[in-house]
Chain A
Amino acid sequence: MLGRGEIAIVGAAESTQIGAVPGMSQIMLHADAALNAMAETGLKPSDIDGVACVGPMMPQQIAHYLGITPKWVDGTGVGGCSFMLHVRHAAAAIHAGYANTILITHGESGKSRINATPRPAEPESLNGQFEIPYGPFGPPTLFPIPVLRYMKTLGVTHEDLARVSVVTREWASKNPRAMFRDLITIDDVLNSRMIAYPFRILQCCLVTDGGGALILTKSDRAKDFPTKPVYILGTGESVETNMVSQMADFTSSSAFRVAGPTAIKAAGIAHKDVDHLMIYDAFAHLPMYGLEDLGFVKRGEAKDFIKEGHTRPGGKLPLNTNGGGLSYTHTGMYGMFALQESVRQMRGTAPAQVPGAKISVCHGVGGMFSASGTVVFSNQRP
């Protein structure tokens, strides 16, 4: 059995630039972040013996590009939370002795589209037969489809949903690397350009370029590195359906309800122990679903929890402190950036540092509620 805190993150870095990076192709964004993470740990490619990145045929591309000969690879690709699953799988692999030092990379030229991953529509797929003919066009038309049902069932207003973007922007205003930093009001959100009712542009994530990388090893080795180790206390994962129309419950994610509590239970913590929280915010409703499905609040209470200021700077549960996918960056698969912020908070190096934070929960979503992964971190080994 994998022990709490047995595995640590010893390297964590983003690409040198994020946002608009027209001077780098997608594979180089992976490599740039990987080189930054190796540099801060003093590791060379020859020291890495495991590689994880998203998608078919990708681990071999990244390993060879970086000059790594891995004895363990993982190409799990379940959308933007794939990296949470990579962390989980890597921790298990190190525990099993399959590898000692694992590199997880992400790179995506989401804005500049240089060597970007194509997204072909397959008319024979179930999505191609039973969703695409009705006019969805990318995540802004699919991810928010459950929102009106959530609003009606739980009494959530347009103002409640707009407030998520307002609070997230407060955090972004403290982060010099965030793409959007100017404070906004609920009226600003509700008067911004309509994209797919009920959501307007300020309730949809950014589309950017960027990369990130993590290096994991046994915590017993952490003292060999100059970085402050961030321990993995617990992890969880699940999937539901990649057809949003077939979600069992439009007001709650099955994948969230499996992944989140699995991680929190494995970590041996209570919700009140959590000092810092990341919930992947591709769209404004996701922090609400996450707060409820992970059990931080009861069903239907997320709107008031946010309204009362608990997730804001100075609140008791700081949420999405980098500015989130809504205001910081969102390459397409933002989960890597949520993990980077959890690591920064645990290292004490975040631009909007939560004073004295010891436990961080990082919760990811992938592919329109189709997948989920959760990681619980701490800067103290149990």
Chain B
Amino acid sequence: MLEPGRPKPKPTPETKHFWDGAKQGKLLLQRCGDTGKAYFPPRPFSPYTGTRNVSVFEASGRATLHSYVIHHRPVPGFTPPYAIAVVELEEGPRLMTNIIDCPQTPEALVLDMQLEVAFTPMDDDISLPLFRPTKGA
């Protein structure tokens, strides 16, 4: 469970499937029907060609650490220092997240390190796709 006070996302009709999937522990991406390329954040058309021919699929949950900052000031719901990270999913898209089960230090947070998704509930409605270092990597 996450500490209280963290801002909670509110799904829209275009993103509901993502958050429903997250609640079930699935990282759902979408794929462009014209190019076959995955994209994020969710929308019911392709940002590559504009086609509405798109599909939802479950991503592997594997990612690498693309970049981050380590925030040193207090924010409601967070205890500093904490990293705000961007990970690159195996399927291509990037997303913002936090890295758990890892010291929040430059020494421990090494760019391109292997990560895996770790869904973490905020409450009964919302689970966040956080990431942790891949075991054994």
Contacts and interface: CB of A to CB of B under 8 A. Distances in A.
Interface in A133-150: 133-137, 141-142, 144-149
A157 interface: no
A240 interface: no
Nearest to A131: B96
Contacts of A193: 72
Contacts of A148: 67-69, 111
A98 interface: no
Interface in B69-102: 69-73, 75, 77-78, 81-82, 84-86, 94-98
A126 B72 CA distance: 25
Interface stretch (A6-14, A195-203, A219-227, A290-298): A195-203
A250 B66 contact: yes
A197 B70 CA distance: 5
A198 to B, nearest CB: 7
Contacts of B8: 123, 133
A198 B7 contact: no
A308 interface: no
B4 interface: no
Contacts of A135: 6, 71, 75, 77-78, 82, 84, 98
B11 interface: yes
Interface string B106-129: 100001000000000010000010
Given A133-B9, A135-B75, A245-B86, A199 B69 contact: yes
A55 interface: no
Interface residues of A, number: 35
Contacts of A134: 84-85, 96-98, 128
Interface in A187-245: 193-199, 243-245
Contacts of A245: 86, 94-96
A183 B94 CA distance: 40
Contacts of B84: 134-136, 141-142, 145, 196
Interface in A309-346: none
A245 B84 CA distance: 10
Interface of A: 121, 123-124, 126, 128-137, 141-142, 144-149, 152, 193-199, 243-246, 250
Given A133-B7, A197-B70, 12 more contacts: A123-B10, A128-B7, A130-B9, A133-B122, A134-B96, A135-B77, A135-B98, A146-B67, A149-B66, A245-B94, A246-B40, A246-B41
8 contacts: A123-B7, A133-B128, A147-B69, A149-B66, A195-B72, A243-B41, A245-B86, A246-B94
